[in-house]
Structure 1
Amino acid sequence: MRMVFRWYGEGNDTVTLKQIKQIPGVEGIVWALHDRLPGEEWPMDKIMAYKALADSYGLHLDVVESVNVHEDIKLGLPTRDALIGNYKRTIGKLAKVGVKTICYNFMPVFDWTRTELYKEMEDGSTALFFEKARIERMTPEELVREIALRPDLSMPGWEPERLERLGPLFEAYKGVTEEDLWSHLQYFLEQIIPVAEKHDIKMAIHPDDPPYSVFGLPRIITGQDNIRRLLKLVDSPYNCVTLCSGSLGANPANDIPAMIREFADRIPFAHIRNVRVHDNSDFIETSHRASDGTVDIVEVVRAYSDVGFTGYARPDHGRHIWDEKCRPGYGLYDRALGIMYLWGVWDLAQRGKRRADGLRAAESSV
C-alpha cells in the first residue's frame, strides 16, 4: 500500500506540503489543476509548476484527482468529441510528469452531495453530514445556497461556474435514464482507454456519492454489480475503479471487503474512510476507527493486505478537530490520525500474513 494525501494547491489549501511530508509513510500528493474547468485541456506549464513544487519536498505526483468529465460527455451531446479530444491530450501531458492513475467520476451535475458541512458530533468535532429527508424536500438551488456558497475555499464538483448553469443542466438531464448514462460512459471509455494504455495510466472511476439517486438524477456506480458491469464495458486493465469505502459505505448493503477481493487487480487507488449510517439512511463521516462507524475499516484494510494491494491509498475525508479551520472534510489533523490508524491495521495484517505464509511453508516441507 502506497500512502498519498490529497492537496488542493498553494493558496487553495490550509495544509502545507511541509506538513504533509511529516506524516509517516506519505510519499506523494493527490492533486489537480483546480482552476481548470471540466472539458479544458490542461496547460503543460502549470503541470510542470506543480511537479517542481512537489519535487522540492520529495513528493510524487503519481495520482491525479480529478480530470473532470464535462457534462456534455455525460449527456452524450455532439460537442463531446472535441471535449474528449482535450481529455486525451491532457492524459498525454500528465504522463510526462509520471502520473500513473487518474481518478474521475461520471456523476451528473453534483460530484458529491451533503446537507451540512460542519455537523457537530458528540465529542464536539464536526464533520460532513447527509440528511436524507432534508435532501428530499430541498431544491437543488436551495442546497447550493446553503452549501456551495458558504466555504472560503473552492470545493471541486461545486464550482460556481458549473452551478451557474444549474437550471439548464437539470433541464438537459430530464429523460436521461441510467441506461443512457451507461451508454455515454461506454462511449467515453472506448475513446479514452486506448490513450490511457498507450501512456501507462490507469483510469479509475470514483463511485457515486451517495450511492443512489439524488434530485432524480441517474447514478450508476453504486455497488458491486455496477462495478462489475463497468469493468466489462471496456475489458482492459486500464479501465479501473477508485474503491471508496466511504461513498459505497453510505449503503450498508455494500460489502466493501468482498469488492476488494473481487476487483483487486482493477483497484489502483483506494479511498479509505468511515461513515456512520443511521436507520433512517442519514449518515455522517466519522474518524477512521472501525468502531466509530458502520464500515469495518479493520476488515477493509485486512482485505487489501490479503490481496497483496500495491496501489495508492489515501485517508480521504476527515473530521474537523482541535478547532482547525480548514476546507470541509480536508483538514490536516484527522486525516493524519487516520493514516496512522490505517498503518497500524496494515502492519498487523501484514505481520499476520507473513506468519501464516511461514506456517504453510513449514508444513509443506514436513
Structure 2
Amino acid sequence: MRMTFRWFGEGNDTVPLRYIKQIPGTDGIVWSLHDVPAGEEWPMDQILELKALADKEGLHIDVVESVNVHEDIKLGLPTRDVYIDNYKRTIRKLGEVGVKVICYNFMPVFDWLRTDLHKRMEDGSTAMFYENGIIAGIDPHELVDQINANPSFTMPGWEPERLQHMKKLIGAYQGVTEEHLWANLDYFLQAIIPVAAENGIKMAIHPDDPPWPVFGLPRIMTCQANFRRLIQLYDHPSNGITLCSGSLGANPANDIVAMIHEFGDRIPFAHIRNIRRYENGDFIESSHRTRDGSVDIAGIVKAYHDIGFTGYVRPDHGRQIWDESCRPGYGLYDRALGIMHLWGLWDGFDYSNNGKGVDRHEQQAATHP
C-alpha cells in the first residue's frame, strides 16, 4: 500500500509539508483546491502552484480529494451538462500533472455530518461525535433559521457559504428518490469515466457519511450491494471506490473485510480509521487501534495485505491530542500515530508471511528512483 496524508494547503493547514515528509513510510499528500466552488473548472496555475510546493518536499500529488460534484448534477437538472464539461476539463488538467486518483462523493446538500467537533473522551482528548438523537429530531429548515439568527450556533458539516442556499437546496430534493439519485449518478459516470480513463485517472467515490438517509435526503453509497451496483453502472477500472472504514463502520451491518475481498481491484484509494459505536446509533471517532473502537482495523489491514493491495491509503480522521490546535480531525499527532499503527500491522503481516519485514526505504526507492 502507498501511504498518504491529507493536506488542506498553505495557509489553510496547521501541518507543514516538511512535517508530513518526516512521517515514516509517507510519500504523498491528498489535496484539493478548496477555494474553487463546486462545478467550476480548476485553474491550471493553482494546480501547478500546489504541485510545486509538494515537489519541493519530495511529496507526490497522485491523489485528489475532492473534485466536488455540483448539486445540479446530483439533481439531474438541465444545467448539469455545463458543470460536467467543467469537470471533464478539470480531469484532463489533473492528468497532465500526474494525478492518478480523484476521490469524490454523491451526497446531497452536504458531504458529512457530526453534532460535535470536540467531544471530550475519557483520556482528555477530543474527537468528532455524531449524536443520533439530535439529528433525528432536527427539522433542517428550522436549523437553517437558527444558524442564520445566531451565527455563533454552528452545525459541523454545514459550511457558512452554503447556508443562504440551504433551504432552497433541501427543497429541491423533495421528491428525489434513491432511484432518481442512481439515475443521475449513472448519467455522470457515463460522461466522465471515459475522460478519466483517457487520462490515466481512477475515479473513486466516497461512501456516504453516515451511511444512512438523514433529513429525508436520499443516500446511496452505503453498503456492499450498492457498491456492486455502482461498478455495474460503468464496468471499467477507472470507476472505483474510496473505501472508508470509518464512514461504513458506523453501520455494524457493513462487512468491510468482505468488501475489500470483493472490490479489491476497484479500490484505488482507502481511508482507514476507527470509530466507537453505541447501541443508540451514536458514534465517536476513536484512535486507529482496533480495541479502542468498534471497527476491526487489524482485520481490514490484513485483508488489504492478503490481496496484495498497492493502492493509496490515508489514516483519515484523528483525535485532537496533546493540546494540539488544528482543524478538527486533521491534526498531525494522532494521524501520524495512526500511520505508524497501520504500518506496524502491515509489517507484522509481512513478517508472518515471509519471516522478515520489508525495507520501506528500498521499497520506496524501487517505486520512486
Q: Partners in 2 of 1:244 and 1:258 — Cα distance?
A: 13
SS at match of 2:49: helix
The match for 1:27 is 27
SS at match of 2:45: helix
Do the aligned partners of 2:121 and 2:127 also contact (CA within 8 Å) in 1? yes
Q: Partners in 2 of 1:266 and 1:351 — Cα distance?
A: 27
The match for 1:364 is none
Could you give the per-residue CA deviations for residues 310-358 of structure 1, whole angstroms, max 9, x where no partner exists? Answer: 00000000000011111011011000000000000001112223359xx
Do the aligned partners of 1:306 and 1:353 also contact (CA within 8 Å) in 2? no
Do the aligned partners of 2:104 and 2:204 also contact (CA within 8 Å) in 1? yes
Counterpart check, 1:217 vs 2:217 = yes
Equivalent AA in structure 2 for residue 344 of structure 1: G
Correspondence 1:199-348 to 2 at 5 A: 199-348=199-348
- Number of equivalent positions: 352
When normalised by structure 1's length, the TM-score is 0.93
Q: Partners in 2 of 1:46 and 1:81 — Cα distance?
A: 24
Q: Partners in 2 of 1:158 and 1:70 — Cα distance?
A: 16
Q: Partners in 1 of 2:195 and 2:152 — Cα distance?
A: 39
SS at match of 2:208: coil
Q: Partners in 2 of 1:211 and 1:66 — Cα distance?
A: 18
Q: Partners in 2 of 1:27 and 1:241 — Cα distance?
A: 21
Q: Partners in 2 of 1:111 and 1:104 — Cα distance?
A: 10
SS at match of 1:165: helix
Counterpart check, 1:11 vs 2:11 = yes
Counterpart check, 1:61 vs 2:61 = yes
The match for 1:142 is 143
The match for 1:174 is 174
SS at match of 1:263: helix
CA drift of 1:203 comes to 0.2
CA drift of 1:96 comes to 1.1
SS at match of 1:237: coil
Equivalent AA in structure 2 for residue 248 of structure 1: L
Equivalent AA in structure 1 for residue 76 of structure 2: G
When normalised by structure 2's length, the TM-score is 0.92
SS at match of 1:222: coil
Cα RMSD for the two superposed structures:
1.8
SS at match of 1:305: helix
The match for 1:350 is 350
Change in CA separation of 1:145 and 1:15 when aligned onto 2, cut-off 3 Å: farther
Q: Partners in 2 of 1:145 and 1:231 — Cα distance?
A: 39
SS at match of 1:64: strand
Equivalent AA in structure 2 for residue 217 of structure 1: L
Could you give the per-residue CA deviations for residues 240-298 of structure 1, whole angstroms, max 9, x where no partner exists? Answer: 00000000000011011110010000000000000001011100000000000000100
SS at match of 2:217: coil
Q: Partners in 2 of 1:149 and 1:340 — Cα distance?
A: 39
Which 4+ residue blocks in structure 1 deviate beyond 3 angstroms? 143-146, 148-152
The match for 1:197 is 197
Counterpart check, 1:75 vs 2:44 = no
Do the aligned partners of 2:318 and 2:331 also contact (CA within 8 Å) in 1? yes
Do the aligned partners of 1:261 and 1:303 also contact (CA within 8 Å) in 2? yes
Q: Partners in 2 of 1:16 and 1:332 — Cα distance?
A: 9
Do the aligned partners of 2:116 and 2:130 also contact (CA within 8 Å) in 1? yes
Change in CA separation of 1:271 and 1:151 when aligned onto 2, cut-off 3 Å: farther
Q: Partners in 2 of 1:120 and 1:161 — Cα distance?
A: 28
Do the aligned partners of 1:151 and 1:327 also contact (CA within 8 Å) in 2? no
Q: Partners in 2 of 1:136 and 1:222 — Cα distance?
A: 18
Do the aligned partners of 2:147 and 2:153 also contact (CA within 8 Å) in 1? no
Q: Partners in 2 of 1:323 and 1:292 — Cα distance?
A: 20
Change in CA separation of 1:331 and 1:151 when aligned onto 2, cut-off 3 Å: farther
Residue ranges of structure 1 left out of the alignment (5+ in a row): 357-366
The match for 1:112 is 112
CA drift of 1:161 comes to 2.6
SS at match of 2:225: helix
The match for 1:101 is 101
Equivalent AA in structure 1 for residue 214 of structure 2: V
The match for 1:184 is 184
Residue ranges of structure 2 left out of the alignment (5+ in a row): 357-369
Change in CA separation of 1:231 and 1:123 when aligned onto 2, cut-off 3 Å: same
Equivalent AA in structure 2 for residue 349 of structure 1: F
Do the aligned partners of 1:204 and 1:239 also contact (CA within 8 Å) in 2? yes
SS at match of 1:129: strand
Counterpart check, 1:49 vs 2:11 = no
